[in-house]
Chain A
Amino acid sequence: MQTIPINTYNSPTVILELIYRLKVKDVMTRSLISVPLGTTMRTVQNLMRENSITGVPVVSDTRLLGIVSMDDIIQALDFGYINETVDSHMTRNMIVLEDDMPVSFAISYFDRYSFHRFPVLSKDKNLVGMVTTRDITTRLLLEINHEVENLERMNQTTKVTDGFTRDIHSFAVLKHDFENAGFASTQIKKRLKGNGIFPPTIRRAAIASYELEMNIVVHSEGGRITAEYGPNEIVITSEDSGPGIPDLDKAMEKGFSTANEWIRSLGFGAGMGLPNVRSVSDNFTIESTPSGTIVRSTIKFSDTRNNETEGDET
């Protein structure tokens, strides 16, 4: 079996991209415990025990001279030279990795050699870290988790162009999904930023989309946030599937909220959501029936530089 059971040439594309994108320096341990020449094998043994590590590099300044592994220590104990210095007992024939190599290299190195760790050198040959199989698998697991999350979200996101100049981007938002709350607004913000929109305008769009997104999460049975990017404006629409707002005037009042205790304890339900959306919008409409609420916020890009509002002004 492979040391790290990931095939570096015919795994799924997403995995291949990952192991080529990630560099050794992204996964290695930087906080190094090393010893200079003249250190006894006993001292190294103690260092290993105290820090639960299995390999200690021997250095002169930042130059790597050799490495003392757990095996070297066992040998030293067996043959009675544990109190001698590392100078003549360290492993000098080492395979090293460079910090700029892709992780895929490290994975195939672990398969090819029986070492449990590789020292990592910078381009100018200084020792900058150590990498173990555990470092790699932990980081990969985190990254894969992240990729899966993104894939799941992509499935919930549809992107269409309506044939004119408008791009339409739609995001599913689930009831009480505090975990992913903010995803739609973050995507909308990124998109506007990429288009070079004036930052205070982006902020207004971020506020509107976030409040609408949170309203779906907190108050509804679930719904969608749709962003329509026009040449001069963005229209953010929130639609949910109920239960509707019984008293719209009350809902637009600052400080009025129907959120329950645990939602308030998270910092939501301050009764400022819809008023915030209205105050950052150039145009704001809301309709509500028991089968759902539709809020539409329009934020203009052009000719607004002179009268940009910094969030809530009312």
Chain B
Amino acid sequence: MKNIEELAQELSYTVFTMEDSSAVILDGYTSDLLSDVMGNASEDSALITIQAHKNTIAVASLIGMHAIILCNGRAPADDMIEAAKREQIAILGTSENQFTVSYRLAKALGKV
């Protein structure tokens, strides 16, 4: 269990927005299909995805996720950052792909 700020630092990911740096991350969920995320991701996990648009924030907020990690160097659209601020969801970014982010996050969270 770590908070989002510690994770961002430890994994040295870019922070696009982080209104609530104390949000605790317990797990991760890797998917680019929003219905899959909606149906299967658990609360308090970080979403690892390449979907860098506003709808991702809606999904994350509806199911109570506090962080999104954008992979492959994708940068969030301005309206995505704005929506994330409103919903207090952090957006991190990295040039790593979903596989790499997944195992690094799992390791950082002591899952493996």
Tell me whether A266 and B55 are in contact in the complex, defined as CB-CB below 8 angstroms, given that A207-B39, A276-B38, A276-B39 are known contacts. Answer: yes
Please measure, in the bound complex, the distance between the C-alpha atom of A287 and the C-alpha atom of B43, giving whole angstroms: 32
Decide if B40 touches A182 in the complex (CB within 8 Å).
Answer: no
Please measure, in the bound complex, the distance between the C-alpha atom of A266 and the C-alpha atom of B40, giving whole angstroms: 18
Decide if B51 touches A267 in the complex (CB within 8 Å).
Answer: yes
| B 4-54 contacts with A by CB, 8 A | 32-36, 38-40, 42-43, 49, 51, 53-54
Which residues of B approach A to under 8 Å, CB–CB? 32-36, 38-40, 42-43, 49, 51, 53-56, 58-59, 61-64, 79
Most chain A CB within 10 A, of B34, B39, B40, is at B39
Please give the distance in Å from A293's CB to the nearest CB on chain B.
Answer: 17
7 tightest CB-CB pairs across the interface, nearest first?
A182-B58, A312-B39, A270-B33, A272-B35, A206-B62, A267-B34, A276-B39
Q: List, in ascending order, chain B residues with CB within 8 A of A206's CB.
A: 62-63
Chain B residues touching A, majority SS: helix
Output the nearest chain B residue to A268 by Cβ-Cβ distance.
B34
Decide if A186 touches B62 in the complex (CB within 8 Å).
Answer: yes
Tell me whether A207 and B38 are in contact in the complex, defined as CB-CB below 8 angstroms, given that A185-B62, A270-B33 are known contacts. Answer: yes
Please measure, in the bound complex, the distance between the C-alpha atom of A35 and the C-alpha atom of B79, giving whole angstroms: 36
Decide if B62 touches A311 in the complex (CB within 8 Å).
Answer: no
Please measure, in the bound complex, the distance between the C-alpha atom of A279 and the C-alpha atom of B40, giving whole angstroms: 11
Tell me whether A272 and B39 are in contact in the complex, defined as CB-CB below 8 angstroms, given that A189-B62, A203-B64, A206-B62 are known contacts. Answer: yes
Output the nearest chain B residue to A314 by Cβ-Cβ distance.
B39
Please give the distance in Å from B37's CB to the nearest CB on chain A.
Answer: 8
Please give the distance in Å from A121's CB to the nearest CB on chain B.
Answer: 25
Please give the distance in Å from A140's CB to the nearest CB on chain B.
Answer: 15
Decide if B32 touches A207 in the complex (CB within 8 Å).
Answer: no
Please give the distance in Å from A72's CB to the nearest CB on chain B.
Answer: 37
Please measure, in the bound complex, the distance between the C-alpha atom of A207 and the C-alpha atom of B64, giving whole angstroms: 11
